[in-house]
A and B are shown apart, each in its own frame.
Chain A
Amino acid sequence: MLASTSHQISVVARLAGLSLPGRVHIGSAPEPVRRLSSGQEHIDALLSGGIPRGRISEFLGPHSSGKTSLVYCLIAATTRRGEVVACVDLADALHPESLTSAGTDLQRLLWVRPSSVTDALRCAELILQAGGFAVVVLDMGATLPRSLRSHVWPRLLHAAEQSHTALVVLTPRRIAGSFAVLSLRLQLRSVVWRRGLWPLLEGSENAVLLARNKLGVPGRQVVIRVRGSCSTNTIHEHDSR
């Protein structure tokens, strides 16, 4: 009885061309989720192996919370493995120098700069449908529009599932609702300065909270250290010379 119900649900979902949020599995073992290493052991441990492929993950936080640094770390690790990443940059905030500092192979990064939210979502869907990308980063910027249509998320999830691409949404607050399997909330704990006559910005300490996890236990937290700035890098370059 359970097996037939599960079959019916999956058939309806297939006919509708949609994937069920959270994948309802009744009476059968769930499909194993492939993970993508974030490039940091501690984050991978927090996420039970890494960012899930074929799913939507959200990185939440205000400015200076460290979400961009964490995403750049993920992009760098992915491109170093030879995989291709796309960044749909609604905020037009991508900084190639920071990406290079994080170790990104820029040749394996597709940078798309749409001018509106609608265009950004269309671009993300097109890239997901093309397939072959390991990660698609959707950077929604600091301010979100009030009328963000929710019906795009099942389509994006379906496209991500089909292409086994991890869709990572960078946003100040949750927007994908129940279609996101993972929500990492980042928060600035302290800014680290090198004291002295000539102070330097060394980085920051940020807390990463696993606020939502449909594939495991939520609520765990880890602290990351974000190090290096343009100024300190410049000083180090001069020192090395």
Chain B
Amino acid sequence: MRLACLYVPDFPLAAVLRTQPDLHGERLAIADGQGPRAKILAVSAEAARYGVTSGLSVAQALAIDAGLIVRPISSDLLRAAQAALCDAAASFSPRIEDTGDGIVYLDLEGLGTLFESESQLANALAQRATHLGLDAQVGVAGSKVAAALAARNGGGATVIPSGEEWSFLAPVAIGLLGPSSELAATLQRWGIRSIGDLAALPTRAVGTRLGPEGVLLVRRARGEDDSPLVPRSLPLHFEEGIDLEYGIETVEPCLFVVRGLLDRLTARLALRGLVCGDLRLSLQLATRGRDERTIPVAAPSNDVKSLLALIRLQLETHPPATAIEAIRVVAVPERLRATQLDLFRPNGPAPARLAMTLARLMVICGADRVGTPALAATHRPDGYGIHGGSLIAHGLSQAEAEKRSPAISYMPYAICDGSAVISLALRAMRPPRAVEVFCERDRPEFVRGEAFAGRVVQAAGPWRVQGEWWSESPYALDYYDAQLSDGCVYRLFCDLATRSWFVDGVYD
């Protein structure tokens, strides 16, 4: 079994640099919180040259280097960076173990046919992590411990050939195993400085003198795993966020920040072979409130420009009440449908432009007033629906289109006797207009309403439509087609429960 370990050194520092790449090359320190007493967790190489080290307080670090840039780390940032590292690994293998703190193990079984050598595979892994903004080191070996030691020991990609773990790890300094300070001092006193020296010691004797921790250290020095690889499926949760240094009150700077978040989100989605569906935008406001929005994406895509335009429309239409202090964006992942376009079918609207247009239309009319019409799953005559999300399936194949609309040639009165015959359409009246109907022998004789009134010239009916008696809103309606003296043909119905009359459409 061959395993790879993706390891990001100074993980808090890498997580911050991933969101703020402009800080590369600066004297930067990452603190575990705000204020002068916060502890420094990691420092950049430039800051280390000035003598700033991890473990100091922010006040001490600033006393050493007044030009030091200090950034607090948040759990959201660490979580997003770890998720990105997992995404990079998942783009190679589905068998992944996420151990946190910038370390991910993956099973390389079966990848030999895709890469010429393991070093090529390791380099590709490192590049994939770099693509997501994380400078990761990669170690490949036969066990988790050996892979982790290889990743920690060398920069870039390190491959330990199968069976050579012992010779490879033997000269490596013992500090890489991470012994406690007491144990490290004891081993130093004994003159044991390399992993090879420690591995050569008899386990029982070490156990007698150093206890369980010593035995564990010897086993690790020999490349023996504490536990096997425990692969777990990664949750399909894509979230990126940032805490702002100061509140943003206008839309434009907010969009600038959101763009970076979308860039990172779409890069992660693309690595997993997914596209961005609906977006959930969460804005933490200066008033300690939270502004949560869901932005529907009609045409799922990873095009940042289109997604940003949708967010812009949303923010410009409903700007946040106060200044924004933190922004979180969650993308609902969707699989891109691979469809075969037909050579002989005309092109529809371009998905990105369609998505943009739909968003604009929804802003003008409201989200529930834009979409494709649908027949409701009811026998109620006025039932209809509108689907806003999955509008006009892009590249809908002919077979699928035919399957969806099998009764397309339905035309009950196609009489071909020389004149054009078309199907009669009803213009709906929403909501149905209440009218007064005067009947004689249960047949409508005169109709009087706000918009129209007239004598009934000819009528057909009634057709009783009733149903949903098992629910709280049963219906029982008597329908009539009636031509009034104004020449128009209306559809009337009488609600049998209330004995009231309505007009719900006119034939046109």
- Chain B residues near A131: list those with CB within 8 A: 349-350, 353
Q: Given the known A-B contacts A63-B506, A111-B371, A113-B365, are A225 and B401 also in contact in the complex, defined by CB atoms under 8 Å?
A: no
The residue that A111 contacts in the complex, of B354, B370, B401, with Cβ under 8 A, is: B370
A110 touches B419 (CB 8 A): no
User: Is the CB of B205 closer than 8 A to any CB of chain A?
Assistant: no
- Chain B residues near A41: list those with CB within 8 A: 420
- In the complex, residue of chain A having the shortest beta-carbon distance to the beta carbon of B390: A107
- Chain B residues near A228: list those with CB within 8 A: 411-413, 423-424
Closest chain-B Cβ to A191's Cβ sits at a distance in Å of 5
Q: Given the known A-B contacts A100-B410, A111-B370, are A193 and B401 also in contact in the complex, defined by CB atoms under 8 Å?
A: no
- Chain A residues near B423: list those with CB within 8 A: 69, 72-73, 76, 98, 101-103, 226-228
The B interface is mostly helix, strand or loop, or mixed, namely mixed
A188→B506 CA distance, assembly (Å):
13
User: Is the CB of A171 closer than 8 A to any CB of chain B?
Assistant: no
User: Is the CB of B110 closer than 8 A to any CB of chain A?
Assistant: no
From A2-10, A15-23, A89-97, A173-181, give the one contacting chain B.
A89-97
From B8-16, B76-84, B302-310, B487-495, give the one contacting chain A.
B487-495
- In the complex, residue of chain A having the shortest beta-carbon distance to the beta carbon of B350: A132
- Chain A residues near B386: list those with CB within 8 A: 111
User: Is the CB of A114 closer than 8 A to any CB of chain B?
Assistant: yes
A230→B414 CA distance, assembly (Å):
16
A202→B425 CA distance, assembly (Å):
12
- Chain B residues near A222: list those with CB within 8 A: 420
- Chain A residues near B430: list those with CB within 8 A: 92-93
Q: Within residues 183 to 225 of chain A, which ones have a CB less than 8 A from any CB in chain B?
A: 188, 191, 193, 198-204, 222-225
- In the complex, residue of chain B having the shortest beta-carbon distance to the beta carbon of A40: B420
The A interface is mostly helix, strand or loop, or mixed, namely mixed
B361 touches A126 (CB 8 A): yes
Q: Given the known A-B contacts A93-B428, A107-B393, are A227 and B507 also in contact in the complex, defined by CB atoms under 8 Å?
A: no
From B30-38, B58-66, B340-348, give the one contacting chain A.
B340-348
A63 touches B508 (CB 8 A): yes
User: Is the CB of A154 closer than 8 A to any CB of chain B?
Assistant: no
The residue that B427 contacts in the complex, of A95, A111, A224, A236, with Cβ under 8 A, is: A95
Centre residue among B349, B360, B458, B506 by max chain A CB count within 10 A: B349
- In the complex, residue of chain B having the shortest beta-carbon distance to the beta carbon of A186: B508
From B91-99, B142-150, B278-286, B372-380, give the one contacting chain A.
B372-380
A41→B425 CA distance, assembly (Å):
19
A109 touches B410 (CB 8 A): no
B349 touches A84 (CB 8 A): yes
- Chain A residues near B396: list those with CB within 8 A: 107-108
B372 touches A107 (CB 8 A): yes
- Chain A residues near B391: list those with CB within 8 A: 110
A62→B357 CA distance, assembly (Å):
32
Q: Within residues 82 to 131 of chain A, which ones have a CB less than 8 A from any CB in chain B?
A: 82-84, 91-115, 119, 122-123, 126-127, 129-131
The residue that B422 contacts in the complex, of A106, A109, A226, with Cβ under 8 A, is: A226
A32→B507 CA distance, assembly (Å):
36
User: Is the CB of A162 closer than 8 A to any CB of chain B?
Assistant: no
The residue that B346 contacts in the complex, of A123, A130, A134, with Cβ under 8 A, is: A134
B424 touches A203 (CB 8 A): yes
User: Is the CB of A146 closer than 8 A to any CB of chain B?
Assistant: no
The residue that B348 contacts in the complex, of A42, A132, A198, with Cβ under 8 A, is: A132
A95→B385 CA distance, assembly (Å):
10
- Chain B residues near A199: list those with CB within 8 A: 458-460
- Shortest Cβ-Cβ A-B pairs, 7 listed: A132-B349, A227-B413, A42-B420, A68-B508, A82-B345, A130-B357, A201-B481
| Interface positions of B (Cβ within 8 A of A) | 342, 345-350, 353-354, 356-357, 360-361, 364-365, 369-375, 381, 384-386, 391-393, 396, 398, 401, 404-405, 407-415, 419-430, 458-461, 463, 479, 481, 483, 487-489, 491, 505-508
Known A111-B371, A111-B373; further 14 A-B contacts with Cβ < 8 A: A69-B425, A72-B422, A84-B392, A94-B373, A97-B375, A105-B408, A111-B370, A123-B364, A130-B349, A132-B349, A223-B420, A226-B424, A227-B421, A230-B479
| Interface positions of A (Cβ within 8 A of B) | 39-43, 62-73, 76, 80-84, 91-115, 119, 122-123, 126-127, 129-134, 188, 191, 193, 198-204, 222-234, 236
Task: Please list 6 pairs of residues, one from A and one from B, whose beta carbons are closer than 8 Å in the complex, sorted by A's number.
Answer: A92-B428, A96-B384, A100-B407, A107-B393, A201-B507, A228-B423
